[in-house]
Amino acid sequence: MSIELITLLCMLTAFAVAVFIFKLPAGVSLMLSAVIGGLVAGEGFPVRHLVEGSFGFLDPIMIIATAMIFMKSVEASGALQTISYHMIKSLYKFPTTMMILITYFVMFPGMLTGLSSACILTTGALVVKPLLAMGMPGVAVGSLITMAAVFGEIAPPICIPVMIIGGGVDMPYVGFELPLFLASFPLATITAIIIRFRYLKEFDIKNVLSQMEKPVYDKHGLKLFVPIAVVVILLILERIMPDYMPHVGVPLIFMIGTISAFGTGEKIDFYKQASLAIKNAMPVMAILVGVGMFIQIMTLSGVRGYLAVTALQMPDELKYGAGMIMPFFGSAYAAASVIGVPLVFVFIGKNEIIVASGLALLAALGDTMPPPSLLCAYAAQMVNEKNHFKILRYSLFYILLSMITAFLIIYFADSIGSVISKY
């Protein structure tokens, strides 16, 4: 048995023991497994590489921090609750369309931050009461916002699992918009339609609106939506007009959007909102620090090279079987780094952008899986369901459908890539 394989097995074992036995956070577990990897590989305690690795995902960390501050500021200004109120008020006569747009609305924070938890804690929290008032069972509402959070996590323009996978194989985050759109929005639409016809019956719109936070549009007018418009326009311009739009970077765009939120709506306590944003994002940022260390030690010890060579010799049956275990890591970011990075090497020869998009979908499903089942736990709190595994049970069909979709995306990666390239 080669030293590279021994090192990899020790790192994976250390991670599993730390997470499942000692119940340590995923970020801390990844850091510990990186230290173990350095020791087993004979590199001692490689401080320089650990520090260097901790900065490996500095850009996604800055995106998460600034995006969460932006979302909290927009929420405090009253823009999000105004959008949800008028969306339901305007579309209640068209329940299917309403449910689809509610799902997209819940996805929106994840699209900007790359965080699934942001979807549930912001827009998800805003739609729970009205959906319950429509007569939908709590577990169905919890399942809807759970799956919307998963799809929001991988939807463009920001997808942290793909950034992690790309960082591990030196693949730039370019050209992922359409593949990620195809991996997220069709599934979100199908999920919304199924839940609408299964659980949404006739309801009293006046009772529903009475359960919602009152909009502040009459008080502030269109300027309420200026921050969202600023961020969306800048993100689009930076991609479609690179020759004319200076590259300011996504974190700066979110900070510009945050600054533009002041004076557009309700008064914003910046210190309070920024503190809440960083507190909510800290576990994920810690994971990214751990992921950077983990990948750095894999590179130092030769594990990445070993995986690349071994992957070429694997039979196809094992390749796809390895992909199917990604959701069971219990964390999208841990799955993307520990399994997603090697699997890109496994599927070498296929369109790597499409493959990474399919793997990101599989990784994102990890946030729903036990033992932590974080998204289900958050959703259960929102709908006052004591047993969050009921949310998971109601979501199993949509999880399985997503896994099948991810498998098909990876299997037909070259065909999908050739079609997308025409656009």
Burial class of 22 by CB neighbour count within 10 A (0 to 12, 13 to 18, 19+)? exposed
Separation CA 354–CA 332 (nearest Å): 18
Separation CA 51–CA 35 (nearest Å): 11
Residue 171: the pLDDT is 87
Q: What distances in angstroms separate CA 175 from CA 180, 379, 414, one per listed residue?
A: 9, 32, 15
Residue 311: the pLDDT is 65
Residue 298: the pLDDT is 86
User: Domain spans of the chain?
Assistant: 3-420
- The closest of 305, 367, 307 to 332, measured between CA atoms, is 367
Residue 335: the pLDDT is 80
Residue 330: the pLDDT is 65
Residue type, 381: Q
Residue 347: the pLDDT is 82
Is the C-alpha dihedral spanning 391, 356, 121, 219 positive or negative?
negative
Reading the chain (423 residues) residue by residue, the pLDDT tens digits are: 788 889 989 998 998 898 888 888 878 888 999 999 999 999 899 999 999 999 988 888 898 899 899 999 999 999 999 999 999 999 999 999 999 999 999 999 999 888 888 898 889 988 998 999 999 999 999 999 999 999 999 999 889 999 988 887 888 888 899 999 999 999 999 999 999 999 998 888 988 888 888 889 889 999 999 999 999 898 888 777 777 777 788 899 999 999 999 999 999 999 999 999 999 888 878 888 988 898 889 889 988 777 767 766 767 667 677 677 788 766 787 788 777 877 887 787 789 999 999 999 999 998 898 766 788 888 998 888 888 889 999 999 999 999 999 999 999 999 998 888 776
Is the C-alpha dihedral spanning 318, 324, 327, 330 positive or negative?
negative
Residue 423: the pLDDT is 66
Separation CA 259–CA 72 (nearest Å): 12
Q: Tokens 């700066």 identify what position?
A: 252
Q: How far is CA 23 from the centre of its chain?
A: 22
Burial class of 105 by CB neighbour count within 10 A (0 to 12, 13 to 18, 19+)? buried
Instruction: Determine the longest span between alpha carbons in the chain, in angstroms.
Output: 70
Residue 388: the pLDDT is 85
Q: Are 29 and 19 contacting, i.e. CB atoms less than 8 angstroms apart?
A: yes
Residue 50: the pLDDT is 92
Q: Are 140 and 199 contacting, i.e. CB atoms less than 8 angstroms apart?
A: yes
SS3 175: coil
- The closest of 212, 78, 80, 193 to 133, measured between CA atoms, is 212
Residue 274: the pLDDT is 94
Residues 6+ apart with CB under 8 A from 297: 11, 34, 37, 38, 41, 43, 46, 49, 50, 53, 303
Residue type, 300: L
